[in-house]
Chains A and B, each alone.
Chain A
């Protein structure tokens, strides 16, 4: 019958070799898109170098107390005796670099720069990671819900996003931090370190989730109409299954990239806030505070600005490079 070109083929049903794909290899194990991305990441030299640097920084931050013990100097310890008596400049060359004090001493306070930096790294990474985690979680939740549910939920979330984006971060931070500190502590009370750190994290989280929310919302909207989502709905899947089993696994890649690019952003923001005088107090070791203080000694003790400056530069660069490499590994089709 000429009407049906398929019948001829159907009669001679082809047993395609591909369909069977008999066990050529023993124990066929599928490689997930995630495993493929890790393999690609391993081949990327930039990713390896920046990743190694990141691991180094994180390890140093984690074992800070151990380092302090081995080094024999605590973060709050001062060595005023090794300072110049008239103006508080460290004795010796290059800001007092010696076998006891590898990166020299802080002018004025006489604290050891190396151990301050190790602990500063700790503070920076703690703030940046917590803020990135919180803001990503917030952004992902809001974005997924807005994108999937649509309608008025979407409208409200989008509206809030726009509102938050419209608020000037620096000005709000400048206005908010001292006010909040006063709200909880008196004029003369000592503000505990943890409070300042928590405040910074909260402010970063509140302002940082918007871009993630937008990104995720857009991704979810494109995925929502895909047939595998409809297949799950046709099987009677509930909201939780749809969001966390069907949708989220497909947007891990952009979320991960957004996260890895948010961390350096928060590191620099923390430094910037410390620089303009809000945020952490002088007791808390932090890069921003160190660079802020070091500017007074730019002429007289350039070594003081050099070490924290170079470290924060390397840290942020490593994070950004790794984020870019991660993006390339997760989405090999995209070209730059």
Chain B
């Protein structure tokens, strides 16, 4: 994996938030709990997972908006985990962030010109030709009219605002951009424009991206490598094709199966996970996914699976019983697993052994049959 020195190297990154009720400390929310990954120059890494799995916290730690509780972040060979503001300054120029909400990420009292010029001004950079010229170049680069220099954010649409946010992130000519769900606040047609803009910029300027998203389709469109997060840990990381076509971790499979397929009617090969994500205050022992995994065995509760590479080392999975074989789109690849229902891992609800496949086809029952209230049950339901 190390043909070249990675631009960003993250090891054991963790963020724990203390929770207090009254005076007593009630424990730690392990929002992010030990992440390892690398990003090489010019590479796009997608960070996916459901809400609350620690994606955004990770992104904020990478640009040091949050201080990590543990672990190290190395950027361009330098440890920036605990660097102070002055030490960070030269690195800030190489490391920028794009925010999720284009309505909150632009100062409503500043003109677009001032917003985009802010990173230059703050770092005391006087680009050749003046700040104004540079800002207008940037606006043009992101597809905005440079004459809108003097306008205010409230005069722009969501997509245009996000372009302004991108221009601001580009102002310092960074090498790596952390994009925190940059399109999830936009509607679909605008999403496409902004994603294509980011992709063009990535190619033209040779940017590396850490692209945080919950939309798997967007990530697939944009990212070369994908890391799947669950409850503060990476459960699987690999190249795009491997993750999307040969996912090894059960959670990745479940996640992929949840992408709505607009071309098919009814629920097609959907893996339904029972219950909710456990609380990060007290994550499950062993494998964090075991409480919702249909393949969980005794070992999953006792031993935490390491993120190990299989099949030649391109794809790493943290699972004792990784899946193999491709996931055919909409095909019957998934029902195979229904053969091994609720193992002894979670004996709490031994009943309901995989209701699946019985309600033939019809959509309505499939929606309602989901094992209601059985938190932690290993109900996998496959309605064909």
Which residues of A does B touch, CB under 8 Å? 1-7, 9-10, 13-14, 16, 18-23, 28-34, 226-228, 230-238, 241, 245-246, 249-250, 252
Contacts and interface: CB of A to CB of B under 8 A. Distances in A.
Chain B CB within 10 Å — which of A4, A5, A227, A250 has the most? A227
Contacts of A230: 60, 65, 97, 99, 105
B172 to A, nearest CB: 7
Contact of B107 (A31, A234, A249): A249
B168 interface: yes
Nearest to A15: B193
Nearest to B60: A230
B217 A236 contact: no
Interface stretch (B34-42, B149-157, B334-342, B356-364): B149-157
Nearest to B115: A228
Contact of B159 (A4, A10, A19): A19
Interface in B152-207: 152, 154-155, 157, 159-160, 163, 165, 168, 172, 188-193, 195-196
Contact of B105 (A228, A238, A241): A228
Nearest to A241: B122
Interface stretch (B16-24, B255-263, B311-319): B255-263
A32 B122 contact: no
A228 B196 contact: no
Interface in B88-138: 88-89, 92, 96-97, 99-101, 104-112, 115, 118-119, 121-123
A235 B104 contact: no
A228 B106 contact: yes
B71 interface: no
Contacts of B88: 236
Given A10-B192, A238-B85, A238-B122, 11 more contacts: A2-B261, A2-B263, A3-B216, A3-B220, A30-B150, A31-B152, A31-B155, A230-B65, A235-B92, A241-B121, A249-B107
A234 B63 contact: yes
Contact of B188 (A6, A13, A23): A6
Contacts of A2: 261-264, 329-330
A19 B122 contact: no
Interface size class of B (residues with CB under 8 A): 35 or more
B108 A33 contact: yes
A237 B150 contact: no
Ordered nearest first, which 5 A-B pairs have the shortest CB separation? A30-B151, A227-B105, A249-B109, A4-B217, A235-B119
Contact of A234 (B65, B111, B112): B65
Contacts of B154: 33
Contacts of A226: 104-105
A231 B182 CA distance: 13
A5 B147 contact: no
A231 B114 CA distance: 13
12 contacts: A3-B217, A9-B191, A10-B192, A19-B163, A20-B145, A28-B150, A232-B118, A233-B65, A235-B122, A236-B123, A237-B118, A238-B122
Nearest to A14: B189
A21 B107 contact: no
B148 A18 contact: no
B35 to A, nearest CB: 19
B301 interface: no
A5 B259 CA distance: 9
Given A5-B217, A32-B152, A249-B110, A19 B143 contact: yes
A9 B188 contact: yes
B218 interface: yes
A100 to B, nearest CB: 54
B270 to A, nearest CB: 13
Contacts of A21: 145, 148
B150 to A, nearest CB: 5
A3 B122 contact: no
A165 to B, nearest CB: 25
A237 B262 contact: no
B78 interface: no
Nearest to B172: A235
Contacts of A6: 188, 191-192, 195, 215, 217-218, 221
B244 interface: yes
Contacts of B160: 18-19
B144 interface: yes
B298 to A, nearest CB: 35
B88 to A, nearest CB: 6
A238 B123 CA distance: 9
A32 B111 CA distance: 8
Contacts of A16: 159, 189-190, 193
Contacts of B106: 228
B217 A28 contact: no
Contact of A231 (B97, B188, B193): B97
B193 A14 contact: yes
